[in-house]
Structure 1
């Protein structure tokens, strides 16, 4: 089955292809179908609301099965008002570049002692048609806790700039020095696969 992933980020598309490897699903991105949409107002209060907003908007534009994902970054030691949440790239009304994100979060980590504990909470919404909309945001697709350091790695990962600041708590290694498909990815992949299998089974696909 061919499903559109509502993203123009090639790194995110390749990541999700790894997550769903083994399922009879062909993933394509927005660039593959040259879909042009107006800026989507991601005004949700949490990752699930934003995933739903995007998925429904892309479905209306493409008229094909589509899913969207959204994430929220939550950092220990910050107040609720200070949490990046769903606005990881948007700070004080400004959308940050990859380099801007590395600069901002390295300084934020320094303010918290240089080793801030953080976690991503993820959500997904799949729209098959107007009557079949499935969504999910449970812990089995959330990331494990990790460290945001104040010292950036010299390597950069286009589309995932915070990998240059992220350190695995178990190994003490920067994400940039780890094998892409690590143990955490495998656990999250199981959660995503269960979501798609259960959703498509309910639809009868």
Structure 2
């Protein structure tokens, strides 16, 4: 089954391809459709929660492309900072501007300097639209990130395009940069494991005749 991941972020698409590979899903992204001559709609993300935004995107892409599609959205939250500082669903949008990767790093390291290392977590959501009657969604804690720290000092390694905050993210237990942790430990931290479980649950939902 061909499944559209409603994102233009190639890094996120590549990660999700690896996670869903065991299910035999042929995963494509919006850029793949552009190469075939299709135009992806611009979807305003006006929801107040990650789930509302994920639903907006998935439904919009399904209406245009008429193929199974899922979208994800995240909200970033910090412990012990004023409400007006909480990024929530506006991780990349600050003061009405959509920040580049470098601008995001500069902004969030600035917050870490102001408040000290920030204890943070991502609340994540996913919405899967198979057709007009089969819609599955979740914002379950199983797809939320583990708490971690944001530091004011970026890692010296090359930054990973599409994941700008990884270079200032530290493991809460060890204080290590995520970049310095063994791969097997990072695998345990990966939110995508929860996404895989979500898809496995959808596939096993036999009374809905889901077919991947």
**TM-score normalised by the shorter chain: which range applies?**
over 0.9
> For residues 56-135 of structure 1, what are the structure 2 equivalents within 5 Å?
56-113=59-116, 115-135=117-137
Cα distance between partner residues in 2 of 1:29 and 1:38: 13
Shift of 1:57: 0.5
Report Cα offsets for 1:104-147 as digits up to 9, x if no partner. 0000011112x110000110000000111110111111100000
Candidates 38, 43, 46, aligned match of 1:43: 46
2:25 — aligned with what? 25
Cα distance between partner residues in 1 of 2:60 and 2:74: 18
Cα distance between partner residues in 1 of 2:56 and 2:192: 23
TM-score, normalised on structure 1? 0.93
Q: CA RMSD in A?
A: 1.4
TM-score, normalised on structure 2? 0.90
Is the Cα contact below 8 Å between 2:5 and 2:29 reproduced in 1? yes
Shift of 1:81: 2.9
Report Cα offsets for 1:50-82 as digits up to 9, x if no partner. 000000001111110000000000011222332
Equivalences, count: 202
Structure 2 residues not aligned, in runs of 5+: none
Shift of 1:19: 2.3
The answer to whether 1:136 aligns with 2:138 is: yes
Greater helix share, structure number: 2
Candidates 184, 188, 192, aligned match of 1:183: 188
The answer to whether 1:168 aligns with 2:174 is: no
Cα distance between partner residues in 2 of 1:189 and 1:166: 17
